[in-house]
Structure 1
Amino acid sequence: MESPVFEEIDPADDCDCPGCAHWRRVLPHSRTGRFPGHPAAHRTALVVAAVTSAAVAASAVPAVAAPSAQRPAGPDVPAGEEPATPQGKRAPLYGPGGRATLPAGLVRAPAITRADIIERARNWVTRKVPYDVASYEADGYRQDCSGYVSMAWRLPANEWTGSLGKYAERITKDELRPGDILLFHDASSPYGGSHVVLFGGWADTARSRYVAYEQTLPHTRRKTTPYAYWNNSARYVPYRYKGVTDGAAGAGTPRPAGRTPFPGVAHFGPGAENEYVAELGRMLVARGAGRFYPTPPGPRWTDADRAATRAFQEAQGWRGAAADGLPGPLTWELLVAGGGRDIQSGGSASVTAGPSSAPSSHGVPGYPGRAPFRPGAVSDHVTRLGGQLVKKGFGRYYTQGPGPRWSEADRRNVEAFQRAQGWRGGAADGYPGPETWRRLFLS
């Protein structure tokens, strides 16, 4: 028997476990090594069994590629790398035997806000609705790509890529906003080669990548995608639903001229310091968040920015992960366009600024995640960590009192504490994880 062959197995880019979701949110550019990896990532042994020459001659055995080899590499990936997404024909809700649909040729586009479109799209992502061209959800929408867009737009029937254009108008790439679609209708293979995705906002300032919501195998997903798509990129056409509005700002509110497009999530959160943070603060103040800022908003990210952002998100009716205090494409879009609801006076206790508003992570109360503890980060969480290290007797590397800027002294003190727990190797790297935090703050 030949020697075992070892190969690194990585999770899919769109893995939505809590760990991967958190790290994609705060450190999206992970290929350089900052990304700590999927909790389940491990080195797997692929044992290649020896086969007789007679068996090989009798039948060719197809090689099984590692999952990472199937991952699309970019916009020029040939067709077939992404899952096939056949679709059904135009049909009533709940299918051919369901409720009566509109007569052929009659189009009705019910009004809906961009925020509602994205919220409806997120609902299927959260529930991981299985992809199935012959099945229908409880609300009557078909579980394929065009049924998904029909659901998000709240259309009165299950449309397909050949009819969605009747409910929309063609736009340019520069006009794309959350809630619009990118439509590829293949006349040569209308039910097997066509596809449509929902545009969730730009993922970078170069507008080369965007957040796509789509119904595909094995279930609904939200994934950063190269423009216009992984394959057949030149054949995807941007469309805008005719019934879309911008909420409180009214229907068809244009983007103010000269305003900045969403720069990407990497520009916000603990340790961030840039012009986009300052612009975010100014827009939030204009929408009623002034009480969260004891001083005018600046370029350094603070707890006030997070509390103000969360207050704006909650004013839209969002809860849970949709109101985490970190701006995504839709939050930014509503602020830039003047859409959505303003922050009301008073507000909830959950958006009070200060260290007490630090989110929990990994089920550990008060643990803010790893982002505040990376080189160059400045955060009240670093000061709080340092104070607890000193209190526990692990402050020997501080030449002066702990401060808000993460330093080598912080890392060495954390490492000393971790080693005192009996941990070695990667478990004692000096960066506080959820278990380090939990043990440090035990009374």
Structure 2
Amino acid sequence: MKKLIAIVLIVALCAFSVFASGNQESAPAKSDKKVTLTIWNSSQTTADFYNEVVTPAFLAQHPEVEKVEVLYTPIADFVKKLAVVLPAGDVPDLMEIEDSWATPYVTAGYFEENTKELDAILGQMMPEFTQCITYNGKHYGVPSAPFHELFYWNLDMLKEAGYDYIPDTWDEVVEAAIKMTKRDETGKIDVSGFSMRLGGNPSGTTQKFWVLALLGNGVDIVEESKTQPGKYHAGFDNEGGYAALKQYIDLLYKYKVDDFASVKDTAAFAQGKTAINMREASSSNSIKTQGPNINWTTSIMPKGNVQRATFLITLNWYVPKDGKNKDLAREYIKLATSREMFDLQVSERAALNPYKDADKTKGLDERLVPSFAFPEDLKCYTVPVLNAYDSCQVRVGEALPNVFANESLLDNPEGIKAEIHKLAEIVNDALKEYDEYAE
């Protein structure tokens, strides 16, 4: 049955009514006129979840609402749309936007500050999520669909390589990837040992380099100035950044566990064309559909050369200042971010439950459980509210493929340091454009 939603919704509605009554501001005024609540987002899976699960419950609670329209737009077009519609005021009632994409519009004043009710919900969530929605001491938005980076492992390939355990340090990962890389009779890689993000969506390329290499080596994309708080500079023009880029170059040209021609990412894993893939948990749904016979499990990010780390990125709910139905939009947020709805998101979408006291493995596919049991040594990073941050990600992501393709960087410390410096200058230049730079 479509996920036994009907039964669960009844439970969710009852539980939510208790939740909502405990910390209630004035409820939105009722009207005889039926309204349509409009929502825009860039995630098909969350749009489906809202249409199938949240909206039916919302309509049952709010008979004054005739319908809820969720308009999904692919990421590239959605980002362009934001730049046009928000300044023009041609907005929906509610928007779901990835944290760094929303920042310029938060700082420009296009979204409503959280009400006390929404802040009360936020206060029950992991404190890391507060950073990406706080500006000038005020909160704008509530996490709607958090996710983190993790490792997927092909268990049959691991076993064939002689492993009866999941490698847990970066050195162990590299050793396993070398053993699991397979080539055809011409020497071309047929199955990569590790599927590397070497291009494609620029932000995604940067994010993968960020969490796999930069964070594991103890450095971040930006770091705050010690002399001018609130200003930033590139955080990786140093030994940590050098080690991060060397890590990628060595994987490609010394250990040769992947190349530019190989099938990539989730598609590769689902086809049995890679042994290890780094991705968020929601890609497990594609693996189940596209590769039902793949024997897999997951793990938390391995311990890098300096630390074990991952990022926490989230789509957030934002209420536009020019929206027509702000009270109802907030009611939708309250329902969509209730504990009951996040329990369903975990089971249906493999989302990360943001509530501090939640069992983050409850309802998960058992193969995902190891990657949701956060160990004490895992350091979690989120993005700061910087106007330049998205530009930093995009510009670095546009430059990285050419850097990765430069085989002359192998065993070339000075060359690697020079490339890292160039990438850092890209970040610094973006920060300077937004007057957010300081040493």
* TM-score where L is the length of structure 1: 0.23
Greater relative CO, 1 or 2 (CA 8 Å, sep 6+): 2
Larger radius of gyration: 1
* Higher fraction of helix: 2
